[in-house]
Amino acid sequence: MGLIDNEGLQWSNLSRKQGSNPNAMKGSRVIYLDNAATSWPKPRETWRAMENFMRHIGANPGRSGHRLSIEAARIVLEARMAVAELLGIEDPLRVVFSRNATEALNLAINGILRPGDHVIISSMEHNSVMRPLRALEKRGVEIKVLACSPEGELNPQEVEQAIRGNTRLIVMNHASNVVGTLIPLAKVGETACRNGVIFCVDAAQTAGAYPIDVEDMKIDLLAFTGHKSLYGPQGTGGLYIREGLEGVLEPLMRGGTGSRSEFQEQPDFLPDRYESGTPNTVGLAGLSAGVRFVLSQRIVQIRANEEAKTQLLIGGLESISGVVLYGSRDARKQIAVVSFNIAGLTPSEVVMELEEEFQILCRPGLHCAPAAHQTIGSFPQGTVRLSPGYLTTEEEIHVILEAVGKIAARVTEGGVAHV
Amino acid sequence: MSGEKFPGGQKASYRVVLFYSTSGTLVAEKILKRERIEYKLIPVPRHLSSDCGICLRFLREDEGRVMEAIGGKVEIQDIHSL
Ligand SMILES: Cc1ncc(COP(=O)(O)O)c(C=O)c1O
């Protein structure tokens, strides 16, 4: 993978070698399996674009008419166009940028729902959906949570049955960040559309990792984050807003936009209506390059690659005795996120051993999605989550499987986990 | 851009088209570039609007082509002679 720069990896290897771990694995490379939290390493294009902005452009986009300001605004537009191209969005100006998916989801949820409205979600939602909704519930919004199967699967017919006269919004994540299970988006979108309900998708885990087309899937609002499978930096994300929705979607914030400065009221056109204040232009420069990377690799190719590695991981984990695997156990039905536990150990014990002994970095616990863990039966202790990325190698998957095998064997042999 | 001569002394051979946002202006710019229509990105002249943004200036005789190229793709706020 010539496009990837491993300077970051080598640097962390160096500090690791100088660290206190005498058992460091041969080669002592860290294996990063936390791509569902943030993808890493990034394609070199991402940070080169950011460096280019910081060194050579640097100005405030759209605030002034000078050439550096225009150059900065072009960078922001390029990022919009790249995201639009990836997601099948015809008009790039309908992509509004935010700090992350959480902010985009807060905009969508708080911007649409009013007291008396009814909203439908699944039981696999992330807290970035749950928490804004629970706060609105106190102000008179009714929430219907559709229970998914223990594998995280949603029966789309239940969506239809849950719709009522005052159902205003359906919010669903495209894929769970706990077990990776995909939701049948197109079916839910079709149901929403037929019933005149606004359909909002949390694509934090799938944008850049799984094909999405907002037209085919009848998506009205789509929240994405830049730092996961779009290979941009943290601090970037956004919301796609279907034409016409700006009439009913209240902005989260109001302020300076560089446009219509003579008016004290917020502009009503996109993207300015939802983008107050100076944007994260350096981040968007990186996001733009990251999305271009995804487009150049082709999303179907990325998906096929990740699906193969996921199947390898699932198959390998299934064959280790003592491992409890969650989710669909079928890579075709999920993205590259796999949750498991080792009987007799807590998730954090496993994760600590993986890091200390094998230099494998991943995330234990509830992954900001307690309801999802309740659904799959791993609440409150949570799971160990392995999330390979496009840049994870097959060889690394084998190393992980071997490591999990060793830890599990120690438990079954009666060895005590050294915590 | 600040060194740009404004058409104070020039004959009104130019038209400018204003958009609602900088993003809109830059989308229109891309279209004109693609259509190989001559244009210049200039700060919005103060007598037109107190906006701090930018607009596209083009030759009057190209107006038909400009309108055809960007019509329906980017919402136009205003169009003026200079
Ligand atoms: C399903 C899901 N939704 C929302 C988010 C929130 O994304 P961010 O932290 O970038 O706001 C995440 C990841 O953290 C996620 O996995």
Confidence of residue B11 (pLDDT cuts 50, 70, 90): low
Which pLDDT score, from 0 to 100, does residue A25 have? 40
Domain match, A159 and A246 both = yes
Residue ending a domain, among A259, A277, A296, is A296
H-run or E-run covering B57: strand B54-59
- Ligand 1 first shell, C-beta below 6 A: A 100-102, 126, 128, 173, 177, 202, 204-205, 225, 237
Q: Is the pLDDT of residue A184 over 80?
A: yes
Who among B30, B51, B54 is closest to A70 (CB)? B54
B47 falls within a domain: yes
- Cα–Cα distance measured from residue A43 to residue A54, given in angstroms and rounded to the nearest whole number: 18
Residue at A395 is within a domain: yes
Kindly state whether residues A318 and A337 are assigned to the same domain. yes
- Chain A closest CA to B24's CA: distance in Å? 7
Q: Which residues constitute the domain of residue B71?
A: 14-81
* Distance of residue B18 Cα from the nearest chain A Cα, in angstroms: 11
**Interface pTM (ipTM) of the complex?**
0.75
CA A101 / ligand 1 centre spacing (Å): 6
For residue B16, give the H/E element and its range. Answer: strand B14-19
Q: Using a CB-CB distance cutoff of 8 angstroms, which residues of chain A are in contact with residue B50?
A: 261-262
Residues A207 and A285 in one domain: yes
pLDDT band per the 50, 70, 90 thresholds, residue A27: very low
In a domain, B7, yes or no: no
Cα A159 to Cα A267: distance, rounded to the nearest angstrom = 35
Q: Are residues A25 and A74 in the same domain?
A: no
CATH number at residue B74: 3.30.70
The model's confidence at residue B44, banded by pLDDT at 50, 70 and 90, is: confident
**Shared domain check, A376 and A310:** yes
Angle at alpha carbon of residue A64, lines to A62 and A67, rounded to 5°: 90
Residue A42 domain-assigned (yes or no): no
Mutation target among A260, A262, A268 for the B interface, most CBs of B within 10 A: A260
Return all residues near A144 (Cβ < 8 A) that are at least 6 apart.
Answer: A118, A119, A120, A121, A162
Write the residue in A66, A74, A260 that is nearest to B26 by C-beta: A74
At CB < 8 Å, which residues of chain B contact A?
A: 1-2, 20-24, 26-27, 30, 41-44, 49-54, 74-75
Please give the DSSP secondary-structure letter assigned to residue B4: P
B21, part of any domain: yes
CB contact under 8 A, A93 and B24: yes
- Asked if residue A219 and residue A83 are part of one domain, the reply reads yes
| Per-residue pLDDT at A109 exceeds 90 | yes
Sign for the pseudo-dihedral over CA of A183, A185, A186, A189: positive
In a domain, A241, yes or no: yes
How confident is the model at residue B50, as a pLDDT? 54
pLDDT score of A79:
98
| CATH number reported for the structural domain that contains residue A206 in this entry | 3.40.640.10
| Residue position matching structure tokens 């999330």 | A387
Confidence bin at A63 (pLDDT 50/70/90): confident
A174 with A160, same domain: the answer is yes
- Which residue out of A368, A373, A387 has the highest number of ligand 1 atoms within 8 Å of its CB and is therefore the one to mutate? A368
Which is the closest atom of ligand 1 to the Cα of A125?
1
Owning domain of residue A89: 47-296
Query: Per-residue pLDDT for A20 more than 60?
Result: no
Task: Please check whether residue B46 lies inside any domain of the structure.
Answer: yes
Cα→Cα distances A127→A120, A124, A169, A372, A386, Å: 15, 10, 17, 10, 20
Structural domain contains residue B4: no
A216 and A340 inside one domain: no
**How much of chain A exceeds pLDDT 70, in percent?**
92
The domain total for chain A is 2
Provide, as residue numbers in chain A, all residues whose Cβ is less than 8 Å from the Cβ of B54: 65, 70
Q: How many domains does chain B have?
A: 1
Contact between residue B50 and residue A262 where contact means Cβ atoms under 8 Å apart: yes
Residue B5 lies in a domain: no
Establish if B3 belongs to a structural domain.
Answer: no
Question: Where residue A416 falls among pLDDT bands split at 50, 70, 90?
Answer: low
Last residue of a domain, one of A272, A296, A320: A296
pLDDT over threshold 90, residue A122:
yes
Q: What is the pLDDT of residue A118?
A: 98
Interface touch A80/B23, C-beta < 8 Å: yes
Residue among A274, A222, A275 at smallest CA distance from A249: A274
Residue A199, min C-alpha distance to chain B (Å): 25
Whether the pLDDT of residue A270 is over 60: the answer is yes
Residue B8 pLDDT grade (very low, low, confident, very high; cuts 50, 70, 90): low
